[in-house]
Amino acid sequence: MRMLRWLILGSAAILAIASATAQTYDPSHPVCLQRWEWGGSTYFECAYTSWDQCRASAIGLSAMCVDNPYWQRPQARLSGGRLRSSTPY
């Protein structure tokens, strides 16, 4: 009977533990908000298009705005269409 009780208790403890998920950065937004939570954990919200927008969200929170290291800047478009090679055919 004791063994059954420990087995149930152990199973409940294992099921109660949540698995950790990896933090991802959204590459479509240039600014992230880094937030600190109770217990020392931090996470990033990369959903801001400007520093002012991020700062407005950080007011009153234990947070700060940071550059998104995975943001892919838009490529400059060339005027005139096709590129020409300097070498002859």
Cα 86 to Cα 53: distance, rounded to the nearest angstrom: 46
| Across 47-67, average pLDDT | 92
Amino acid 13: pLDDT: 67
Residue 55's CB is within 10 A of a number of other CB atoms, namely 15
pLDDT surpasses 70 at 50: yes
Q: Per-domain residue ranges for the chain?
A: 23-70
pLDDT digits (tens, 9 = 90+) for 27-45: 788 999 999 988 888 888 8
pLDDT surpasses 70 at 22: no
Q: Rounded to the nearest 5 degrees, what angle is found at the Cα of 23, between the Cα atoms of 22 and 26? A: 130
